């Protein structure tokens, strides 16, 4: 008996009525980037079903180089496998969702950040880059960072949203926009 035992029992229930989903474009043509917080599950608050949308999660839901790399590969894969099936030559919308009461918010305090750096071996700069103290500000910065990346497919749009832990409501902070085409 481990802590996984009851969860594996739940999986047994799940598998009994499970129907596999074939690999295809995500049904909603959305990719969600959000925080790993256990109170912030986009499958639940956005009502996602299997096959609807890939979800990338990390501390804060920040647009890191690793997130940009994953998005670049997903865009390439979708284009290779399903490029011919696109209605309007749009691959997907990347929805960056930050949230209130984020646990990374403590890192905004320099003393706490220094303590965290010493205890974990992570650099203070890395920890500062994870911080979401004002989700409206960070989601705006991360949408801009993603749109500015040369690795972002021009067939992708990016939007920014804030999930309120107190109300369960998602509000759009940055409307969907595509990267500027270079000439």
Q: Is residue 107 classed exposed, middle or buried when 0-12, 13-18 and 19+ CB atoms within 10 A define those classes?
A: buried
Taking the complex as a whole, how short is the minimal distance between the CB of residue 63 and Zn ion, in angstroms? 14
Taking the complex as a whole, how short is the minimal distance between the CB of residue 173 and Zn ion, in angstroms? 16
Phi, psi values for residue 77, rounded to 5°: -60, -45
Instruction: Give the span between the Cα atoms of 69 and 92, in whole angstroms.
Output: 16
102 counts as binding Zn ion under rule CB under 5 A: yes
Q: Which residue, 143 or 152, is less far from Zn ion as judged by CB?
A: 143
Strand partners, 161: 97, 172
Neighbours of 162 (CB within 10 A): 22
Tell me the site size for Zn ion, rule CB under 5 A.
3
97 counts as binding Zn ion under rule CB under 5 A: no
35 counts as binding Zn ion under rule CB under 5 A: yes
173 counts as binding Zn ion under rule CB under 5 A: no
DSSP 75: H
* Binding window for Zn ion (CB under 5 A); candidates: 25-33, 62-70, 102-110, 167-175: 102-110
According to CB under 5 A, which one of 34, 37, 67, 107 is a site residue for Zn ion?
Answer: 37
For the beta sheet containing 55-58, the strands, ordered from the edge strand earlier in sequence to the opposite edge, are 55-58, 30-35, 92-99, 156-163, 170-177
* Binding window for Zn ion (CB under 5 A); candidates: 3-11, 50-58, 98-106, 135-143: 98-106
Instruction: Give the span between the Cα atoms of 9 and 1, in whole angstroms.
Output: 11
* Binding window for Zn ion (CB under 5 A); candidates: 30-38, 82-90, 116-124, 160-168: 30-38
Which stretches of the chain bind Zn ion, using CB under 5 A? Answer: 35, 37, 102
């Amino acid at each position: 008996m481990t802590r996984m035992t009851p969860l594996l029992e739940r999986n047994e229930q799940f598998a009994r009525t499970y129907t596999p989903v074939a690999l295809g474009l995500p049904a909603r043509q959305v990719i969600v980037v959000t925080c790993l917080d256990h109170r912030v599950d986009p499958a639940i608050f956005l009502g996602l079903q299997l096959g609807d949308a890939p979800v990338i999660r990390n501390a804060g839901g920040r647009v890191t180089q690793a997130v940009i790399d994953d998005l670049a590969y997903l865009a390439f894969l979708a284009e290779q496998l399903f490029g011919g099936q696109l209605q309007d030559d749009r691959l997907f919308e990347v929805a960056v969702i930050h949230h209130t009461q984020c646990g990374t918010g403590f890192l905004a305090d320099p003393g706490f950040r220094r303590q965290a750096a010493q205890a974990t071996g992570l650099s203070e700069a890395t920890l500062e880059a994870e911080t979401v103290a004002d989700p409206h500000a960070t989601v705006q910065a991360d949408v801009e960072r993603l749109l500015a990346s040369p690795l972002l497919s021009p067939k992708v749009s990016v939007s920014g949203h804030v999930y309120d832990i107190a109300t369960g409501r998602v509000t759009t902070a940055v409307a969907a926009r595509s990267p500027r085409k270079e000439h």
